[in-house]
Amino acid sequence: MKRVQLQNFKKSYDQKTNVISDINVTIEAGEFFVLVGPSGCGKSTMLRMIAGLEEITEGNLFIGEEKANGLLPSQRNLSMVFQNYALYPHLTVEQNITFGLHTKKISKIEQRKRCQEAAELLGLDQLLNRKPKQLSGGQRQRVALARAIVTQAPICLMDEPLSNLDAKLRAKMRSEIRQLQRKLGITMIYVTHDQTEAMTMADRMMILNGGHIQQVGKPLDIYNSPNNTFVASFIGGPPMNLATVQVHSHQLVFEQGQSLSYPMSIELMTEYKDLIVGVRPEKVKLAKGEEPSLLVKVVNVEILGTETLITFTVGSTEQWVARWNGQWNIAVGDEIPIYIDPKDIFLFHSETGECVHQDTKHITSHTVEEELA
């Protein structure tokens, strides 16, 4: 296992525009690290810079303790799995898996041994004589994974390897890749634009936008404490509800006069005239009894079996989503009272989008021991 360090990492194709700007991060040995962000944010470019397929404009790359800026891709002792699998159609599965080993001067016997071990690990041992055109999408992805495994490199790079698969197969392969990484103990750097993949697979993840780091941390830490409105709206499905409000004493006032009560400090009340308020969909509750409520109009209902997503208007134009467990008999056009606990409200700067206040004291994770106690 080896760690990877990026120090003041920059990439530009001309003197005016940086595609990647001032990236500083250490990916620990044996860690599953995910680079996530929208298309064009620079995540694949960063992965290619680590692999040696793109030149580093400024900054330093360390693989283990060795500076790797000037090393050829073949000298960096890493493997890579591409988005399009990159299998040779005229070669068998076995030949595709062992293709790169002859350049490392590995004997035929050792090549066959490694191939057999990887094939058994990934359930390919009965497919070794087939050609890629005879395989399903998931089987082709496993062949690409096996080719990376047989190199026995301590670092594996993956560039959106599941994007060509259907939703059901993606979920299955997510689990398989994560289990494989734990079993092999390798350092894995994984690129995706899918926040669900990032949340479910990562030990830690880096969220990128426009070539800049937005936040680095454990998935739940980022979900519970987003740095800014971009992170809040990118991580989570459905994403966090956001709306601009005016600050009046202890009230957050939407357009058209709707308001939420909030125990705001004197410092916040005097510093900000308006803010962006954020609430996770699962924290929007049906108001009961004497709870202060907002009366909102339903514009869409999605019943997903185990949960119901209710879209409603807040203010004059903003649409928010409530995520309620179970199946709810609610019709479009209904008006329903909702309640939002002040401790579940996030406040962001209206211009910079940076988080200015949230209550983190109540955030806890459930454990089996606690539930059984």
Please give the chain's pLDDT, 373 residues, in tens.
789 999 999 999 887 788 999 899 999 999 999 999 998 899 999 999 999 999 999 999 999 999 999 899 989 999 999 888 889 999 999 999 998 887 788 888 999 999 998 898 888 989 999 999 999 888 898 898 899 889 889 999 999 988 877 888 888 888 888 988 998 899 999 999 999 999 999 999 999 999 999 999 999 999 999 999 999 999 998 999 999 998 887 788 887 778 888 877 767 767 788 899 999 999 999 998 888 788 899 999 999 999 999 999 987 778 999 999 999 999 999 999 999 998 999 999 999 999 987 776 656 666 666 666 5
- Of the three residues 182, 205, 230, the one that is the final residue of a domain is 230
Q: What is the CATH number of the domain that holds 280?
A: 2.40.50.140
> Which amino acid makes up residue 140?
R
**Residue 157: partners with Cβ closer than 8 Å, 6 or more residues away:** 47, 50, 51, 78, 79, 80, 81, 188, 189, 191
Residues 106 and 192 both lie in one domain: yes
Element (H, E) at 206: strand 204-209
Q: Which tokens belong to 133?
A: 């055109």
Domain check: are 196 and 303 in the same one?
no
Q: Which of 230, 260, 288 is the last residue of a domain?
A: 230
Distance CA 103, CA 146 (A): 17
State the DSSP code for 31.
-
In-domain check, residue 280: yes
- Indicate whether 273 and 172 sit together in one domain: no
- How far are the Cα atoms of 46, 47, 81 from residue 17, in angstroms, in the given order? 15, 19, 29
Quickly list H helices, 165-298.
167-184, 195-201, 219-224, 229-234, 266-271
**CA distance linking residue 12 with residue 15, whole number of Å:** 7
> Do both 297 and 351 map to the same domain?
yes
Residues 100 and 207 in one domain: yes
Distance CA 5, CA 61 (A): 6
Q: Is residue 367 part of a domain?
A: no
- The encoded tokens of residue 67 equal 């500076």
**Residue 178 in 3-state DSSP?**
helix
CB 147 within 8 A of CB 100: yes
Task: Say whether both 203 and 352 belong to one domain.
Answer: no
On whether residue 202 sits in a domain, the answer given is yes
Residues 60 and 199 reside in one and the same domain:
yes
Residues 134 and 264 in one domain: no
In a domain, 366, yes or no: no
315 in a structural domain: yes
What the block records as the tokens of 310 is 């209710």
Q: Is there a single domain that holds both residue 300 and residue 215?
A: no
Q: Is residue 105 part of a domain?
A: yes
373 within domain boundaries: no
- Our CA angle for 43, 44, 45, nearest 5°, is 90
Asked whether 256 and 316 are in contact (CB, 8 A), the reply is yes
State which residues form the domain around 222: 4-230
Domain end: 230, 251, 285, which one? 230
Q: Are residues 194 and 69 in the same domain?
A: yes
* pTM (predicted TM-score): 0.89
179 and 99 within one domain: yes
Structural domains in the chain (count): 2
Is residue 352 included in any domain, yes or no? yes
The CATH number covering residue 27 comes to 3.40.50.300
Do residues 114 and 187 share a domain?
A: yes
